[in-house]
């Protein structure tokens, strides 16, 4: 089913007799239980005001179309959402609704916030086929719920988004990346933490143990970028044998590759992402016994390539964070669950929310838990 309007979407959901597998651009390769319901037909930018840094678009609008419109005004999606296609071998095209449904946020998250922080308002259809509006440029609110935050990262389990209102930011004049060579995982996390605590406005901090590179990105006006790169070098390089600077184009390519986990493209094995305290990252990476790994978000995000069917959560044990399966066989995803199991308290809240917005359990059943 591919509705062409919000009204048609609502009618399809109201008239559905069974479960529905909600899809955006199909780039995540997740196929839920039930009949496929795609928002690809809900496409188009309905409002764009560059002066107020706001945009309204239907949920099925392609991210590439959003980016093209923004580029004409020298603006961008500052949270730089990941493109999963090469990593997962999928053929779809990312949609703006899918980006917010998954709260997909790239390396710049540590500086500007996650995708959800740029979502001003949503329109969506709940499990009864009713159109709900919340936040931003919409008039009707649902008392007691911050639906903007609830919908971001809900993966279509609470409702099907039809339209999003979002904040955008200006594109900086240039960027550069300071690369520190030869640091251990522990030393790299310490260096990244020091850089993030400095006044030099770092917008990306990652560490690749395979190549022994710790990368720190700075963006802004050219003179300011040059000054801050030099200041970071003076701050961090006393115990580093060699450092280099990647200028604008090479820097942009490096961070696009980090964003899209290019190092794992075509390599065999399961891919996981672990969100954790940066200080705990090196210890967790050691426990994982991964075939390869690297750090983003100044150590707060670890990407790991594991042997097929590995139970990473059992290896890590209890920690302050969560481990998510990004790429694995269907059998592994079913056996382990894509997402970290919820605690009892969170599970009760989730059950209540689903009962409120999807009382018949139609949307993406079983996707965010292993008991449905």
pLDDT in tens, 82-105: 999 999 888 888 999 999 999 999
What are the residue ranges of CATH 3.30.70.920 in the chain? Answer: 174-259
Instruction: Fold for 262-336, please state it.
Output: Alpha-Beta Plaits (3.30.70)
Q: Which burial class, exposed, middle or buried, applies to 72 when counting CB atoms under 10 A from its CB (0-12, 13-18, 19+)?
A: exposed
pLDDT (tens digit per residue) in 16-36: 888 888 888 777 777 667 788
Confidence at residue 140, expressed as pLDDT on a 0 to 100 scale: 39
This prediction's pTM: 0.90
CA geometry: angle at 314 spanning 313 and 317, to 5°? 80
Instruction: Fold for 174-259, please state it.
Output: Alpha-Beta Plaits (3.30.70)
User: Residue 297 and residue 275: Cα distance in Å, rounded?
Assistant: 9
Q: For the beta carbon of residue 283, count every other beta carbon within 10 angstroms.
A: 15
The pLDDT of residue 163 is above 60: yes
Confidence at residue 203, expressed as pLDDT on a 0 to 100 scale: 98
Tokens of 175: 């960027």
pLDDT (tens digit per residue) in 34-85: 788 888 899 999 999 999 999 999 999 999 999 999 999 999 999 999 999 9
Secondary structure E strands in the chain: 20-23, 35-38, 45-49, 54-58, 75-76, 119-125, 131-135, 160-167, 169-170, 174-181, 202-208, 213-220, 242-246, 270-275, 292-296, 301-306, 322-327
CA distances from 361 to 20, 352, 371 (A): 9, 12, 13
Is the domain spanning 6-170 CATH 3.40.50.300? The answer is no
What are the residue ranges of CATH 3.30.465.10 in the chain? Answer: 6-170
State the average pLDDT for the chain: 90
């Amino acid at each position: 089913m591919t509705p062409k309007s919000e009204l048609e979407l609502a009618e399809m959901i109201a008239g559905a007799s069974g479960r529905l597998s909600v899809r955006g651009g199909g780039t995540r390769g997740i196929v839920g239980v039930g009949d496929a319901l795609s928002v690809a037909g809900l496409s188009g930018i309905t409002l764009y005001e560059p002066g107020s840094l706001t945009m309204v678009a239907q949920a099925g609008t392609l991210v590439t179309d959003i980016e093209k419109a923004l580029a004409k005004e020298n603006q961008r999606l500052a949270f730089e959402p990941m493109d999963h296609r090469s990593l997962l071998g999928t053929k779809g095209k990312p949609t703006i609704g899918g980006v917010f449904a998954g709260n997909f946020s790239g390396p710049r998250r540590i500086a500007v916030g996650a995708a959800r922080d740029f979502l001003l308002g949503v329109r969506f259809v709940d499990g009864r086929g009713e159109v709900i509006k919340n936040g931003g440029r919409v008039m009707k609110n649902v008392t007691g719920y911050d639906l903007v935050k609830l919908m971001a990262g809900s993966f279509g389990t609470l409702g099907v988004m039809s339209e999003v209102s979002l904040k955008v930011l200006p594109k900086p004049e240039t960027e550069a990346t300071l690369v520190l060579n030869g640091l251990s995982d522990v030393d790299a996390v310490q260096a990244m933490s020091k850089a993030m605590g400095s006044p030099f406005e770092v917008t990306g901090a990652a560490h690749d143990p395979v190549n022994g590179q710790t990368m720190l990105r700075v963006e802004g006006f050219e003179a300011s970028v040059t000054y801050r790169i030099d200041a970071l070098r003076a701050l961090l390089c006393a115990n580093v044998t060699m450092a280099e600077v990647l200028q604008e184009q090479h820097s942009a390519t490096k961070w696009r590759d980090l964003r899209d986990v290019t190092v794992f493209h075509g390599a065999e094995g399961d891919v996981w992402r672990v969100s954790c305290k940066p200080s705990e990252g090196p210890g967790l990476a050691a426990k994982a016994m991964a075939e390869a790994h690297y750090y983003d978000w100044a150590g707060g995000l670890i990407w790991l390539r594991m042997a097929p069917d590995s139970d990473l959560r059992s290896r890590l044990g209890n920690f302050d964070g969560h481990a998510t399966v990004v790429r694995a066989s269907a059998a592994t995803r079913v056996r382990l669950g894509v997402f970290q199991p919820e605690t009892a308290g969170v599970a009760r809240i989730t059950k209540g929310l689903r009962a409120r917005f999807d009382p018949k359990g139609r949307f993406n059943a079983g996707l965010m838990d292993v008991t449905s």
